[in-house]
Amino acid sequence: MSVALPIPGFPGRILAVTLPAGPGGTPVTVGGQNALPLLPEGEHPNAPAVGMEVPTGPLELPPALAEAIGPFAGDPVAMARKCAGDWGARFLFLSLSGCHPDAGGQSVSFGAAVVREVLSATPAPVIVGGCGDEEVDARLFPAVAEAAGRPVFLSYAEEKNHRLVAGAALAYGHGVVSWSPIDINMAKQMNLLLADLGFPPDRVLIDPLTGGLGYGMEYTFSIVERIRLAGLSGDAALARPVLCHLGDAWKAREATDPSEGTWGDVGARGPRWEETTGLACLAAGADLVVCRHPSSVARLSGAAWR
């Protein structure tokens, strides 16, 4: 006797979004699927992409990261080359954290210059992250948008600043990462607000806020899953690729504290922590993950099949 397997079909499809590359580079296209991740059914034209964060400004790195990326501290251009080259990142997340007043307070024009240099140093697709200070970012995004010689994504637009970030992106042809604090309704509302401004939907990624393993990852898992299910069920405002930034994994004491001898080698613990967080995100449906440790790129890329 044969039993027909109940294969769920979805009416919706996730919008495909392309992160453009510079001359000679490979653009990253994600989305386009009409099924849940890691399942055999449905169409998955684009595998998830794994990228790396390129930090700026002074860094206080936990042991595992100090060893891997410490030598590149203060040289985002060299680090960008390394990430996109040897380390195999398909895209870069250039974080202008150095412009934050509490993290050295590099000037806005300095931040914009870093963007320009990184973009000319590598053709890899780039997402530029603000510094997180509301007042500085309000000046930073327009400056970055103007300075970037080729299309990038600006991260991130939230409820408060979305008009400014979207305006800056529209002015120079960039995309935006729309951010919401683990809140499906807010994620939806953000996309409706952007649509209301006339922002092209195929230039928007959803960042649902990613908690690290043990520090809120389960909330992220659930929200990514629900965003994806809503999108596949036909909610166009949520049928967008999802980006998970794994940086929070490095805030866990388990990932960084060398004093706990019984927990094993801290040099291995950190990357493991980030990988595990990333694997959960991929299983939940993330289309882009941003990691900090080079070893995570390879491990997660290996897992990023559909």
185 interacts with other proteins by CB under 8 A: yes
Rounded to a whole number of angstroms, the minimum distance from the CB of residue 291 to other proteins is 27
Q: Does 303 interact with other proteins (rule: CB under 8 A)?
A: no
Residues paired with residue 28 on neighbouring β-strands, in sequence order? 19
CB 286 to other proteins: min, Å: 18
Residue with smaller CB distance to other proteins, 58 or 149: 149
Q: Which residue type is seen at 1?
A: M
Contact criterion met (CB below 8 Å) for 212 and 271: no
Three-class SS of residue 147? helix
We find the least distance from the C-beta atom of residue 139 to other proteins, in angstroms, to be: 11
Q: Which one, of 258, 265, 270, 257, lies nearest residue 296 by Cα? A: 270
> Residue 271's closest CA among 65, 88, 55, 80?
65
CB of 68 to other proteins, least distance (A): 35
Is 150 an interacting residue with respect to other proteins (CB under 8 A)?
no
CB of 124 to other proteins, least distance (A): 25
147 close to 110: Cβ distance less than 8 angstroms: no
Strands 49-55 and 17-19: unpaired
Choose one: 54-62, 120-128, 167-175, 269-277; the region binding other proteins (CB under 8 A): 167-175
Cis bond leading into 215, ω under 30°? Answer: no
Verify binding: residue 166, other proteins, rule CB under 8 A. Answer: yes
Residues that bind other proteins (CB under 8 A): 142, 145-146, 163-164, 166-168, 170-172, 181-186, 188-189, 192-193, 196-200, 222-223, 226, 229-230, 233
